[in-house]
């Protein structure tokens, strides 16, 4: 039986670590870690290296910044998407539309596979002062609603504690 789960929380809230623990606990095979972050600068490389250390050798890592559906479609195990927020960033950078993002996520959600989505909650702050940041926040909020509405479980993470809200 496939199951969809969302872990949402602020940056460095502990959502990724808790999502990893969750999928490892609920997997019968080695899960796939679908890494979406592109190497863009030294600081981002440091963040990626930190995530690699945290997940050790517990996952099969696949790196894909854009075409998530294609990678998940062929997956033979459950999948953790780390993270949807960086995927949105990549899609905007590469000039994909909001509609493209919705289409891709709808295809993923319909797959008969167990998937854990990780997403930064960026909607709890102030309205950004530039158009691109506002577009990102708006898209992230709309896509988080789409994902959460289709997930079997949703966990909100604060200070390393994930609370089931659905």
Give 10-residue mean pLDDT values along the chain (166 residues).
93 93 93 85 71 78 94 94 95 96 98 96 84 92 97 97 97
pLDDT of residue 12: 87
| Count of structural domains, the chain | 1
The CATH number that applies at residue 65 is 3.40.50.300
Which tokens hold the place of 135? Answer: 């577009």
104: Cβ contacts below 8 Å, ≥ 6 apart:
67, 68, 69
DSSP 46-115: HHHHHHHHHHTTSSEEEE-SS-HHHHHHT-SS-EEEETHHHHHHHHHHTT--HHHHHHHHHHHHHSSS-E
pLDDT of residue 148: 98
pLDDT of residue 125: 75
Q: Which domain holds residue 137?
A: 4-164
pLDDT of residue 128: 80
pLDDT of residue 55: 67
């Amino acid at each position: 039986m496939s199951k969809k789960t969302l872990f949402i929380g602020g940056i460095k809230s502990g959502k990724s670590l808790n999502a990893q623990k969750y999928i490892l606990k609920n997997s019968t095979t080695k899960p796939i870690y679908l890494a979406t972050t592109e190497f863009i600068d030294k600081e981002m490389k440091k963040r990626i290296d930190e995530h690699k250390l945290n997940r050790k050798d517990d996952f099969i890592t696949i790196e894909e910044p854009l075409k998530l559906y294609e990678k998940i479609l062929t997956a033979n195990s459950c999948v953790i998407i780390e993270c949807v927020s960086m995927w949105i960033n990549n899609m905007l950078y590469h000039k994909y539309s909001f509609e493209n993002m919705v289409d891709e996520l709808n295809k993923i959600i319909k797959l008969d596979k167990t998937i854990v989505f990780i997403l930064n909650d960026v909607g709890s702050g102030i309205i950004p002062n530039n158009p691109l940041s506002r577009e990102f926040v708006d898209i992230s909020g709309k896509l988080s609603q789409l994902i959460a509405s289709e997930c079997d479980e949703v966990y909100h993470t604060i200070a390393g504690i994930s609370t089931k809200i659905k």
